[in-house]
Structure 1
Amino acid sequence: MDFGIATSVTDEGIRPHVLGAALEEKGFDSLYLPEHSHIPVSRETPYPAGELPRGALRNLDPFIALTAAATVTSNLRLGTAVALMIQRDLFYTAKEIASLDLLSDGRVIFGVGAGWNIEEMRNHGVDPRTRGALLTEQLQALKEIWTEDEAEFHGKHIDFDPVYAWPKPVRKPHPPIYVAGQGPAGLKRLAEHADGWLPHFVTPPEELRRVRSWLADQGREDVRISVFGAPADPDLLRRLADAGVDEVSLILPTLPEAETLERLDELAKTIEPLRA
Protein backbone atom coordinates (compact mmCIF):
# COMPACT_ATOMS: atom_id res chain seq x y z
CA MET A 1 0.00 0.00 0.00
CA ASP A 2 1.29 3.44 -0.94
CA PHE A 3 1.26 6.42 1.40
CA GLY A 4 0.66 10.03 0.48
CA ILE A 5 -0.09 13.29 2.22
CA ALA A 6 -3.33 15.29 2.06
CA THR A 7 -3.03 18.89 3.20
CA SER A 8 -4.00 22.49 2.49
CA VAL A 9 -1.10 24.61 1.29
CA THR A 10 -1.86 28.17 2.31
CA ASP A 11 -0.21 31.56 2.67
CA GLU A 12 0.28 30.79 6.37
CA GLY A 13 2.15 27.48 6.15
CA ILE A 14 5.03 25.67 4.53
CA ARG A 15 5.67 26.57 0.89
CA PRO A 16 4.74 23.87 -1.65
CA HIS A 17 8.23 23.43 -3.11
CA VAL A 18 9.69 22.84 0.36
CA LEU A 19 6.86 20.43 1.20
CA GLY A 20 7.22 18.50 -2.05
CA ALA A 21 10.97 18.05 -1.65
CA ALA A 22 10.53 16.90 1.96
CA LEU A 23 7.85 14.37 1.03
CA GLU A 24 10.02 12.78 -1.64
CA GLU A 25 13.06 12.73 0.65
CA LYS A 26 11.07 11.05 3.43
CA GLY A 27 9.65 8.37 1.13
CA PHE A 28 6.06 9.48 0.63
CA ASP A 29 4.47 8.54 -2.67
CA SER A 30 2.04 11.38 -3.35
CA LEU A 31 0.74 14.80 -2.42
CA TYR A 32 -2.97 15.68 -2.61
CA LEU A 33 -4.24 19.26 -2.40
CA PRO A 34 -7.84 20.51 -2.18
CA GLU A 35 -9.51 23.38 -4.01
CA HIS A 36 -11.83 26.24 -3.14
CA SER A 37 -12.01 29.36 -5.27
CA HIS A 38 -13.56 31.17 -2.30
CA ILE A 39 -15.83 30.55 0.68
CA PRO A 40 -18.99 32.70 0.87
CA VAL A 41 -19.22 34.55 4.19
CA SER A 42 -22.95 33.96 4.45
CA ARG A 43 -23.23 30.20 4.12
CA GLU A 44 -26.05 27.77 4.75
CA THR A 45 -24.24 24.65 3.57
CA PRO A 46 -22.56 22.82 6.47
CA TYR A 47 -19.06 21.47 6.06
CA PRO A 48 -19.44 17.67 5.83
CA ALA A 49 -16.68 16.89 8.32
CA GLY A 50 -17.60 19.25 11.15
CA GLU A 51 -15.98 22.64 11.61
CA LEU A 52 -14.73 24.30 8.43
CA PRO A 53 -10.91 24.13 8.51
CA ARG A 54 -8.98 27.38 8.21
CA GLY A 55 -7.12 25.94 5.21
CA ALA A 56 -10.33 25.97 3.17
CA LEU A 57 -10.40 29.74 3.51
CA ARG A 58 -6.79 30.30 2.48
CA ASN A 59 -5.63 27.44 0.24
CA LEU A 60 -3.46 28.27 -2.76
CA ASP A 61 -4.53 27.32 -6.25
CA PRO A 62 -3.77 23.58 -6.29
CA PHE A 63 -2.28 23.43 -9.76
CA ILE A 64 0.13 26.31 -9.16
CA ALA A 65 1.15 24.77 -5.82
CA LEU A 66 1.61 21.34 -7.39
CA THR A 67 3.71 22.85 -10.18
CA ALA A 68 6.01 24.32 -7.55
CA ALA A 69 6.29 20.88 -5.95
CA ALA A 70 6.91 19.29 -9.36
CA THR A 71 9.98 21.44 -10.01
CA VAL A 72 11.89 19.99 -7.04
CA THR A 73 10.76 16.35 -7.23
CA SER A 74 11.18 13.44 -9.62
CA ASN A 75 8.85 10.68 -8.43
CA LEU A 76 6.22 12.26 -6.17
CA ARG A 77 2.72 11.89 -7.61
CA LEU A 78 0.84 15.19 -7.72
CA GLY A 79 -2.90 15.03 -7.10
CA THR A 80 -6.00 17.02 -6.30
CA ALA A 81 -8.45 15.88 -3.64
CA VAL A 82 -10.53 17.26 -4.83
CA ALA A 83 -10.64 19.75 -7.68
CA LEU A 84 -14.04 21.40 -8.14
CA MET A 85 -14.34 20.81 -11.86
CA ILE A 86 -17.93 22.01 -12.05
CA GLN A 87 -16.73 25.50 -11.09
CA ARG A 88 -13.96 25.52 -13.71
CA ASP A 89 -13.68 26.42 -17.36
CA LEU A 90 -13.29 23.19 -19.33
CA PHE A 91 -10.63 24.32 -21.80
CA TYR A 92 -8.41 26.18 -19.34
CA THR A 93 -8.57 23.21 -16.98
CA ALA A 94 -7.61 20.79 -19.73
CA LYS A 95 -4.60 22.94 -20.61
CA GLU A 96 -3.61 23.50 -16.97
CA ILE A 97 -3.60 19.79 -16.14
CA ALA A 98 -1.87 18.81 -19.39
CA SER A 99 0.80 21.47 -18.79
CA LEU A 100 1.45 20.21 -15.27
CA ASP A 101 1.58 16.64 -16.54
CA LEU A 102 4.12 17.67 -19.18
CA LEU A 103 6.30 19.60 -16.73
CA SER A 104 6.20 16.76 -14.18
CA ASP A 105 6.85 13.98 -16.74
CA GLY A 106 3.44 12.37 -16.25
CA ARG A 107 2.93 12.47 -12.48
CA VAL A 108 -0.51 14.11 -12.26
CA ILE A 109 -3.57 12.53 -10.64
CA PHE A 110 -6.73 14.51 -11.32
CA GLY A 111 -9.01 13.95 -8.34
CA VAL A 112 -12.48 15.48 -8.70
CA GLY A 113 -15.74 15.75 -6.80
CA ALA A 114 -19.12 17.31 -7.36
CA GLY A 115 -18.61 19.70 -4.42
CA TRP A 116 -20.44 20.35 -1.15
CA ASN A 117 -20.63 24.16 -0.86
CA ILE A 118 -23.87 25.14 -2.56
CA GLU A 119 -23.26 28.89 -2.17
CA GLU A 120 -19.79 28.62 -3.70
CA MET A 121 -20.98 26.79 -6.79
CA ARG A 122 -23.92 29.16 -7.24
CA ASN A 123 -21.45 32.06 -7.32
CA HIS A 124 -19.92 30.32 -10.33
CA GLY A 125 -23.29 30.08 -12.04
CA VAL A 126 -23.59 26.33 -11.44
CA ASP A 127 -27.00 24.82 -10.77
CA PRO A 128 -26.46 22.47 -7.79
CA ARG A 129 -29.26 20.21 -9.00
CA THR A 130 -27.39 19.28 -12.19
CA ARG A 131 -23.80 19.37 -10.94
CA GLY A 132 -23.36 15.60 -11.13
CA ALA A 133 -24.49 15.40 -14.74
CA LEU A 134 -22.29 18.38 -15.59
CA LEU A 135 -19.25 16.75 -13.99
CA THR A 136 -19.78 13.53 -15.91
CA GLU A 137 -19.87 15.37 -19.24
CA GLN A 138 -16.85 17.46 -18.27
CA LEU A 139 -14.82 14.30 -17.63
CA GLN A 140 -15.87 12.86 -20.98
CA ALA A 141 -14.97 16.09 -22.74
CA LEU A 142 -11.60 16.34 -20.99
CA LYS A 143 -10.64 12.92 -22.34
CA GLU A 144 -11.52 14.04 -25.86
CA ILE A 145 -9.43 17.21 -25.54
CA TRP A 146 -6.46 15.29 -24.11
CA THR A 147 -6.49 12.44 -26.64
CA GLU A 148 -7.73 13.86 -29.95
CA ASP A 149 -5.95 16.30 -32.28
CA GLU A 150 -9.33 17.68 -33.33
CA ALA A 151 -11.52 17.24 -30.29
CA GLU A 152 -15.27 17.75 -30.19
CA PHE A 153 -18.06 16.97 -27.79
CA HIS A 154 -21.82 17.27 -27.97
CA GLY A 155 -23.77 16.76 -24.77
CA LYS A 156 -26.55 18.37 -22.82
CA HIS A 157 -24.28 20.54 -20.65
CA ILE A 158 -21.06 20.63 -22.71
CA ASP A 159 -21.15 21.25 -26.44
CA PHE A 160 -18.37 22.29 -28.83
CA ASP A 161 -17.32 21.68 -32.41
CA PRO A 162 -13.79 20.47 -33.30
CA VAL A 163 -10.97 22.35 -31.55
CA TYR A 164 -7.18 22.26 -31.36
CA ALA A 165 -5.82 22.10 -27.82
CA TRP A 166 -2.22 21.50 -26.82
CA PRO A 167 -0.16 20.44 -24.97
CA LYS A 168 -1.32 16.88 -24.71
CA PRO A 169 -0.55 15.07 -21.46
CA VAL A 170 2.59 12.93 -21.16
CA ARG A 171 0.63 10.17 -19.40
CA LYS A 172 -1.22 8.02 -21.93
CA PRO A 173 -3.99 7.93 -22.71
CA HIS A 174 -4.40 10.76 -20.17
CA PRO A 175 -3.69 11.55 -16.50
CA PRO A 176 -5.61 9.18 -14.25
CA ILE A 177 -8.94 10.58 -13.09
CA TYR A 178 -9.98 9.77 -9.53
CA VAL A 179 -13.50 10.58 -8.36
CA ALA A 180 -14.96 11.07 -4.90
CA GLY A 181 -18.48 10.14 -3.91
CA GLN A 182 -20.18 7.02 -2.61
CA GLY A 183 -23.78 7.39 -3.72
CA PRO A 184 -25.24 5.53 -6.70
CA ALA A 185 -24.54 8.39 -9.14
CA GLY A 186 -20.97 8.81 -7.92
CA LEU A 187 -20.23 5.09 -8.15
CA LYS A 188 -21.73 4.96 -11.64
CA ARG A 189 -19.41 7.85 -12.64
CA LEU A 190 -16.52 5.94 -11.09
CA ALA A 191 -17.18 2.73 -13.00
CA GLU A 192 -17.82 4.43 -16.34
CA HIS A 193 -15.40 7.34 -16.42
CA ALA A 194 -12.66 7.10 -13.78
CA ASP A 195 -9.38 5.34 -13.05
CA GLY A 196 -9.49 5.63 -9.26
CA TRP A 197 -11.79 6.15 -6.30
CA LEU A 198 -11.24 8.68 -3.49
CA PRO A 199 -13.34 7.55 -0.51
CA HIS A 200 -13.00 9.37 2.83
CA PHE A 201 -11.14 7.52 5.58
CA VAL A 202 -14.36 7.03 7.59
CA THR A 203 -15.66 4.67 4.89
CA PRO A 204 -15.97 1.26 6.60
CA PRO A 205 -13.60 -1.46 5.33
CA GLU A 206 -16.57 -3.65 4.44
CA GLU A 207 -17.86 -0.90 2.14
CA LEU A 208 -14.45 -0.63 0.50
CA ARG A 209 -14.54 -4.38 -0.13
CA ARG A 210 -18.11 -4.17 -1.44
CA VAL A 211 -17.25 -1.45 -3.94
CA ARG A 212 -14.12 -3.32 -5.02
CA SER A 213 -16.26 -6.41 -5.70
CA TRP A 214 -18.92 -4.34 -7.45
CA LEU A 215 -16.29 -2.73 -9.68
CA ALA A 216 -14.98 -6.17 -10.59
CA ASP A 217 -18.50 -7.16 -11.63
CA GLN A 218 -18.50 -4.12 -13.92
CA GLY A 219 -15.24 -5.28 -15.51
CA ARG A 220 -13.24 -2.59 -13.67
CA GLU A 221 -10.69 -4.55 -11.66
CA ASP A 222 -8.16 -1.89 -12.69
CA VAL A 223 -9.66 0.91 -10.57
CA ARG A 224 -7.35 2.04 -7.76
CA ILE A 225 -8.73 2.87 -4.33
CA SER A 226 -7.02 5.82 -2.64
CA VAL A 227 -8.43 6.56 0.81
CA PHE A 228 -8.27 10.27 1.54
CA GLY A 229 -7.39 12.23 4.67
CA ALA A 230 -6.69 9.43 7.15
CA PRO A 231 -5.16 9.98 10.59
CA ALA A 232 -1.87 8.26 11.38
CA ASP A 233 -3.54 5.43 13.28
CA PRO A 234 -1.61 2.17 12.69
CA ASP A 235 -4.64 0.00 13.46
CA LEU A 236 -6.77 1.91 10.96
CA LEU A 237 -4.04 1.75 8.33
CA ARG A 238 -3.72 -2.01 8.78
CA ARG A 239 -7.48 -2.42 8.36
CA LEU A 240 -7.37 -0.39 5.17
CA ALA A 241 -4.51 -2.50 3.84
CA ASP A 242 -6.46 -5.67 4.68
CA ALA A 243 -9.43 -4.23 2.77
CA GLY A 244 -7.32 -4.05 -0.38
CA VAL A 245 -6.77 -0.30 -0.46
CA ASP A 246 -4.03 0.74 -2.89
CA GLU A 247 -3.10 4.06 -1.30
CA VAL A 248 -3.81 6.12 1.81
CA SER A 249 -3.19 9.84 2.05
CA LEU A 250 -2.51 10.90 5.63
CA ILE A 251 -3.93 14.20 6.81
CA LEU A 252 -1.31 16.86 7.50
CA PRO A 253 -2.32 20.03 9.32
CA THR A 254 -1.28 23.36 7.81
CA LEU A 255 1.73 24.50 9.84
CA PRO A 256 4.85 26.63 9.38
CA GLU A 257 7.87 24.98 7.80
CA ALA A 258 9.74 23.79 10.90
CA GLU A 259 6.66 22.29 12.53
CA THR A 260 5.59 20.64 9.28
CA LEU A 261 8.95 18.94 8.80
CA GLU A 262 8.83 17.62 12.36
CA ARG A 263 5.33 16.27 11.78
CA LEU A 264 6.43 14.58 8.55
CA ASP A 265 9.23 12.82 10.43
CA GLU A 266 6.63 11.48 12.87
CA LEU A 267 4.35 10.31 10.05
CA ALA A 268 7.25 8.63 8.25
CA LYS A 269 8.09 6.65 11.39
CA THR A 270 4.44 5.61 11.77
CA ILE A 271 4.15 4.15 8.27
CA GLU A 272 7.61 2.60 8.08
CA PRO A 273 6.60 -0.77 9.64
CA LEU A 274 3.48 -0.86 7.46
CA ARG A 275 5.50 -0.81 4.25
CA ALA A 276 7.03 -4.22 4.92
Structure 2
Amino acid sequence: EFWQLDGLKMEPKPIQKPHPPIWLGARHTNALRRAVRHADGWMGAGSSDTSSFVTAVGQTRMFLEESGRDPASFTISKRVYVAVDNDEKRAEGRLREWFGKRYGNADMASQVSVWGPTAKVTEELAKVTEAGAEMVLLNPAFDDMEHLEILAEEVIPNI
Protein backbone atom coordinates (compact mmCIF):
# COMPACT_ATOMS: atom_id res chain seq x y z
CA GLU A 1 0.00 0.00 0.00
CA PHE A 2 1.32 3.47 -0.89
CA TRP A 3 0.57 6.93 0.45
CA GLN A 4 0.47 10.20 -1.42
CA LEU A 5 0.50 13.33 0.69
CA ASP A 6 0.00 16.50 -1.32
CA GLY A 7 1.38 19.83 -0.16
CA LEU A 8 3.88 18.35 2.32
CA LYS A 9 7.66 18.62 2.28
CA MET A 10 10.07 15.77 2.83
CA GLU A 11 12.76 17.32 4.98
CA PRO A 12 15.64 17.27 5.45
CA LYS A 13 16.91 16.58 1.96
CA PRO A 14 19.20 13.51 1.74
CA ILE A 15 22.28 15.42 0.57
CA GLN A 16 22.85 18.98 1.68
CA LYS A 17 25.81 21.31 1.44
CA PRO A 18 27.62 22.17 3.61
CA HIS A 19 25.69 19.79 5.95
CA PRO A 20 22.16 18.83 6.98
CA PRO A 21 20.47 21.40 9.21
CA ILE A 22 21.39 21.06 12.87
CA TRP A 23 18.44 21.50 15.22
CA LEU A 24 18.68 21.52 18.98
CA GLY A 25 16.06 20.65 21.53
CA ALA A 26 15.87 23.17 24.34
CA ARG A 27 13.69 24.18 27.27
CA HIS A 28 15.95 26.32 29.45
CA THR A 29 16.70 29.92 28.48
CA ASN A 30 20.44 29.21 28.19
CA ALA A 31 19.77 26.27 25.87
CA LEU A 32 17.53 28.44 23.66
CA ARG A 33 20.33 31.01 23.45
CA ARG A 34 22.78 28.24 22.54
CA ALA A 35 20.44 26.97 19.82
CA VAL A 36 20.27 30.45 18.28
CA ARG A 37 24.06 30.78 18.46
CA HIS A 38 25.03 27.38 17.08
CA ALA A 39 22.12 25.65 15.35
CA ASP A 40 19.90 26.00 12.31
CA GLY A 41 16.72 25.42 14.29
CA TRP A 42 15.06 24.47 17.52
CA MET A 43 12.46 21.85 18.37
CA GLY A 44 10.21 22.42 21.34
CA ALA A 45 10.03 19.28 23.45
CA GLY A 46 7.01 17.02 23.30
CA SER A 47 7.15 17.12 27.09
CA SER A 48 6.37 20.85 27.13
CA ASP A 49 2.87 22.25 26.86
CA THR A 50 1.72 24.80 24.28
CA SER A 51 1.83 27.69 26.75
CA SER A 52 5.48 26.97 27.59
CA PHE A 53 6.22 26.67 23.86
CA VAL A 54 4.66 30.10 23.21
CA THR A 55 6.92 31.62 25.89
CA ALA A 56 10.01 29.86 24.50
CA VAL A 57 9.22 31.05 20.96
CA GLY A 58 9.10 34.64 22.25
CA GLN A 59 12.48 34.18 23.94
CA THR A 60 13.95 32.56 20.84
CA ARG A 61 12.80 35.43 18.62
CA MET A 62 14.29 37.91 21.08
CA PHE A 63 17.63 36.02 21.02
CA LEU A 64 17.56 35.98 17.22
CA GLU A 65 17.04 39.75 17.18
CA GLU A 66 19.73 40.38 19.82
CA SER A 67 22.22 38.33 17.82
CA GLY A 68 21.37 40.11 14.56
CA ARG A 69 20.47 36.78 13.04
CA ASP A 70 17.92 36.57 10.25
CA PRO A 71 14.90 34.70 11.66
CA ALA A 72 14.43 33.09 8.23
CA SER A 73 17.73 31.25 8.80
CA PHE A 74 16.37 29.51 11.90
CA THR A 75 13.55 26.96 11.92
CA ILE A 76 11.21 26.76 14.89
CA SER A 77 9.46 23.43 15.39
CA LYS A 78 7.55 21.48 18.04
CA ARG A 79 6.89 17.84 18.84
CA VAL A 80 3.27 17.16 19.84
CA TYR A 81 1.79 13.93 21.18
CA VAL A 82 -1.67 13.44 19.68
CA ALA A 83 -4.69 11.17 20.04
CA VAL A 84 -7.60 11.71 17.68
CA ASP A 85 -10.76 10.09 19.03
CA ASN A 86 -14.37 11.28 19.27
CA ASP A 87 -14.42 9.80 22.77
CA GLU A 88 -12.21 12.28 24.65
CA LYS A 89 -12.13 10.28 27.88
CA ARG A 90 -10.99 7.15 26.04
CA ALA A 91 -8.30 9.13 24.18
CA GLU A 92 -7.03 10.68 27.40
CA GLY A 93 -7.09 7.29 29.13
CA ARG A 94 -5.07 5.68 26.36
CA LEU A 95 -2.59 8.56 26.43
CA ARG A 96 -2.24 8.25 30.20
CA GLU A 97 -1.59 4.53 29.85
CA TRP A 98 1.01 5.14 27.11
CA PHE A 99 2.79 7.90 29.06
CA GLY A 100 2.75 5.77 32.20
CA LYS A 101 4.46 2.88 30.41
CA ARG A 102 6.80 5.01 28.32
CA TYR A 103 7.81 7.73 30.77
CA GLY A 104 6.59 6.43 34.13
CA ASN A 105 4.37 9.52 34.44
CA ALA A 106 0.74 9.07 33.38
CA ASP A 107 -0.14 12.62 34.50
CA MET A 108 2.18 14.07 31.87
CA ALA A 109 -0.29 12.97 29.17
CA SER A 110 -2.92 15.49 30.25
CA GLN A 111 -0.34 18.24 30.60
CA VAL A 112 1.37 18.07 27.21
CA SER A 113 -0.78 16.13 24.73
CA VAL A 114 -3.49 17.12 22.28
CA TRP A 115 -6.48 14.77 22.16
CA GLY A 116 -10.13 14.55 21.22
CA PRO A 117 -12.22 14.82 18.05
CA THR A 118 -10.58 16.13 14.86
CA ALA A 119 -11.97 19.65 15.35
CA LYS A 120 -10.46 19.97 18.83
CA VAL A 121 -7.12 18.47 17.76
CA THR A 122 -7.02 20.83 14.76
CA GLU A 123 -7.74 23.82 16.99
CA GLU A 124 -5.05 22.86 19.50
CA LEU A 125 -2.43 22.21 16.80
CA ALA A 126 -3.29 25.55 15.19
CA LYS A 127 -2.20 27.22 18.45
CA VAL A 128 1.23 25.63 18.00
CA THR A 129 1.61 26.86 14.42
CA GLU A 130 0.20 30.30 15.29
CA ALA A 131 2.83 30.53 18.03
CA GLY A 132 5.52 30.17 15.38
CA ALA A 133 6.15 26.49 14.69
CA GLU A 134 7.06 26.13 11.02
CA MET A 135 7.25 22.37 11.37
CA VAL A 136 5.30 20.16 13.75
CA LEU A 137 6.28 16.58 14.52
CA LEU A 138 3.04 14.76 15.27
CA ASN A 139 3.58 11.79 17.56
CA PRO A 140 0.56 9.48 17.81
CA ALA A 141 0.82 7.44 20.99
CA PHE A 142 -1.17 4.52 19.56
CA ASP A 143 -2.94 3.29 16.40
CA ASP A 144 -0.22 4.80 14.20
CA MET A 145 -1.62 3.91 10.77
CA GLU A 146 -5.15 5.00 11.67
CA HIS A 147 -3.79 8.26 13.02
CA LEU A 148 -1.74 8.87 9.87
CA GLU A 149 -4.89 8.67 7.78
CA ILE A 150 -6.97 10.88 10.08
CA LEU A 151 -4.20 13.45 10.48
CA ALA A 152 -3.50 13.59 6.73
CA GLU A 153 -7.14 13.74 5.65
CA GLU A 154 -8.95 15.59 8.42
CA VAL A 155 -6.53 17.54 10.60
CA ILE A 156 -3.52 18.84 8.65
CA PRO A 157 -5.52 20.36 5.76
CA ASN A 158 -7.45 22.46 8.30
CA ILE A 159 -4.53 23.93 10.23
- What TM-score do you get using the length of structure 1 for normalisation? 0.37
1:27, CA displacement in angstroms?
Answer: 4.2
Higher relative helix content:
2
Q: Of the two, which has the highest radius of gyration? A: 1
Q: Do the aligned residues in 2 keep the contact of 1:196 with 1:225 (CA within 8 Å)?
A: yes
Which residue pairs with 1:124 in the alignment?
Answer: none
* C-alpha deviation, 1:219, in angstroms: 2.1
- Determine if contact 1:224/1:246 at 8 Å carries over to the other structure: yes
The yes-or-no answer on 1:77 pairing with 2:11 is yes
Alpha-carbon shift at residue 179 of structure 1 (Å): 0.2
1:241 is aligned to 2:123: no
Q: CA deviation at 1:246?
A: 0.7
Kindly provide the amino acid, as one letter, of the partner of residue 205 in structure 1.
V
What are the equivalent positions in structure 2 for 1:12-51 lying under 5 Å apart?
Answer: 22=3, 25-27=4-6, 29=8
Q: 1:271 to 1:265 in 2, by over 3 A?
A: same
Secondary structure at the residue paired with 1:186? helix
Q: Do the aligned partners of 2:81 and 2:140 also contact (CA within 8 Å) in 1?
A: no
Per-residue Cα deviation, 1:53-97 (whole angstroms, up to 9, x for no partner): xxxxxxxxxxxxxxxxxxxxxx6225xxxxxxxxxxxxxxxxxxx
Q: How does 1:154-169 map to 2 (within 5 A)?
A: none
- Percent identity, aligned pairs only? 25
Match of 2:65 among 212, 216, 236: 216
Aligned residue pairs total 115
Contact in 1 for aligned 2:35/2:41 (Cα 8 Å): yes
CA 230–219 in structure 1, closer or farther in 2 if over 3 Å, else same: farther
Q: CA–CA distance in 2 between the matches of 1:189 and 1:252?
A: 29
Check the 8 A contact 1:28/1:76 in 2, yes or no: no
TM-score for the superposition, normalised by structure 2: 0.60
* Alpha-carbon separation, structure 1, partners of 2:147 and 2:81: 15
Q: Could you say which residue in structure 1 is the equivalent of 2:146?
A: 262
Residues 1:198 and 2:47 aligned together:
no
Structure 2 gaps, min length 5: 83-113, 115-120
Distance 2:130 2:16 in 1: 30
